[in-house]
Amino acid sequence: MRVPEGAVVQINLVNGDGATHDITLNDFNTKSNQVNDKGASTSIVFKANKKGEFTYICSLPGHVQAGMIGKIIVGDHVAADKPKAADISRNPMEVGTPIGKRGPQKLTVNLETTEVEGQLMDGSTYKYWTFNSKVPGPFIRVRVGDTVTVNMSNAKDSHMIHSVDFHAVTGPGGGAAVTQAAPGSTKSFTFKAINPGLYVYHCATPMVAQHISNGMYGMILVEPEGGLPKVDKEFYVMQGELYTAQRHGTPGEAEFSLEKLLNEHPEHLMFNGNHDALTKTHRMEAKVGETVRIFFGVGGPNMTSSFHVIGEVFDRVYSQADLTSKPLQNVQTTTVAPGGATMVEFKVDVPGRYILVDHALSRMEKGLAGFLYVTGNPNPEVFQTNSKPDASSGH
């Protein structure tokens, strides 16, 4: 694991076998209590005040030899080479051009399904299945009344049949019934965008949940007549989950686990494809006084999201991505089902780093987090840090 220099770090230890264990980090003079029962947990907390690569262990005799040893890297220390693969993460700024007040048109959308070895997290990779080699697939932007032709090509080097089901489409399988494409082939269909809203699309080839989990999901925005109200910043964010045979944090190539998928036990959850997408790779930014809009969806295939931005309140929530009804106002956390979406808007009033989460907060430990950086002048009328009270005051 890697942490920034100066950070306060907590490492949790969960007893998985019922034997006695602890966690010890000698370089920072910290050692946990022992845990004895299966399912019991303990933790260590320390300040990472020196750079380097350090070892944590279980200090019980023989446990290091049995494999209970790990590494923590503090700061920009260069560790040994780790597996590298393609960056499959979707840039959240890729939201297309607002429709505005134009009339209905005929449009063409080209999708290619690919199977790509991609970076999952620092030190591990995964064989993703994608639309256009990114997760999620491209953000498609049309308006109600548009006639849209979808051309879906399956790459020649694919091993699987793939397809696409648009929740915005009225027709057999949302298009999936006519787009079951073998490797090297192309399928096509045309639909009319009848219903305004923000909709998920995904692969719908059996086993459907496996195709979705592996990265085959995206969103299409059908803007209402006249377009959406203008805002300063728009972002495209989707939540997904991966089911791997290897535990979260295991280095090397992660492999798909059918058993964990059927049991709905994901090892990894992420925004926009992998753990680094919205924390390291792509930087979402806004300025104090600007209004931010987030197009948020859940690819899934199984987990409902409780979408929340820590330190902000959603001024407007277009519940279940209904863009024609009056939005909800002053919402703290909004629920989004698998295969569902929402659109949220809020004005940023105070500079700082704001964290996007699913408020089922244990999922942060499995990689589910994103950052929105807000720059600008302080706004003490809205938020300020107070000096520490004098101890003699009695408060």
CB atoms within 10 A of CB 69: 12
What confidence score (pLDDT) does residue 249 get?
Answer: 86
Q: Which residues pair with 343 in a beta bridge?
A: 295, 318
Say whether pLDDT at 391 is over 60: no
Q: Which of 86-90, 348-352, 364-368 has the lowest mean pLDDT?
A: 364-368
Whether 202 has a binding-site annotation, put simply, is yes
For residues 201-218, average pLDDT: 98
Which residues 6+ apart lie within 8 Å of 140 measured at CB?
A: 96, 109, 201, 218, 219, 220, 221
What confidence score (pLDDT) does residue 68 get?
Answer: 80
For residues 338-361, average pLDDT: 97
70 confidence band (pLDDT: 50, 70, 90): confident
pLDDT tens-place string over residues 215-247:
999 999 999 999 999 999 999 999 999 999 999
pLDDT tens-place string over residues 98-125:
999 999 999 999 999 999 999 999 889 9
Say whether pLDDT at 137 is over 80: yes
pLDDT tens-place string over residues 46-57:
999 998 989 899
Say whether pLDDT at 80 is over 80: no
Say whether pLDDT at 384 is over 70: yes
Whether 167 has a binding-site annotation, put simply, is yes
Rounded to an integer, what distance in angstroms lies between the CA atom of residue 274 and that of residue 281? 10
Residue 146's alpha-carbon distances to 78, 142, 226, 343, in angstroms, are 52, 7, 13, 21
Say whether pLDDT at 320 is over 80: yes
Shortest CA distance to 212 belongs to which of 88, 339, 114, 120?
339
pLDDT tens-place string over residues 250-307:
999 999 999 999 999 999 999 999 999 999 999 999 999 999 999 999 999 999 999 9
Say whether pLDDT at 358 is over 70: yes
Q: Are 41 and 21 in contact (CB under 8 A)?
A: no
Rounded to an integer, what distance in angstroms lies between the CA atom of residue 117 and that of residue 54? 30
Whether 203 has a binding-site annotation, put simply, is yes
Higher pLDDT, 18 or 226: 226
Which residues 6+ apart lie within 8 Å of 326 measured at CB?
A: none
Percent of the chain at pLDDT > 90 equals 84
For the chain, domains (ranges, CATH) are 2-74 (2.60.40.420), 106-223 (2.60.40.420), 233-375 (2.60.40.420)
Q: Which of 11-20, 86-95, 147-156, 386-395 has the lowest mean pLDDT?
A: 386-395
Say whether pLDDT at 37 is over 90: no
Residue 147's alpha-carbon distances to 103, 108, 142, 160, 199, in angstroms, are 11, 9, 9, 29, 16
Whether 211 has a binding-site annotation, put simply, is yes
Average pLDDT value over all residues in the chain: 93
Note the pTM of the prediction, 2 decimals: 0.81
Residues written for the chain = 395
What confidence score (pLDDT) does residue 393 get?
Answer: 46
Higher pLDDT, 389 or 134: 134
What confidence score (pLDDT) does residue 39 get?
Answer: 86
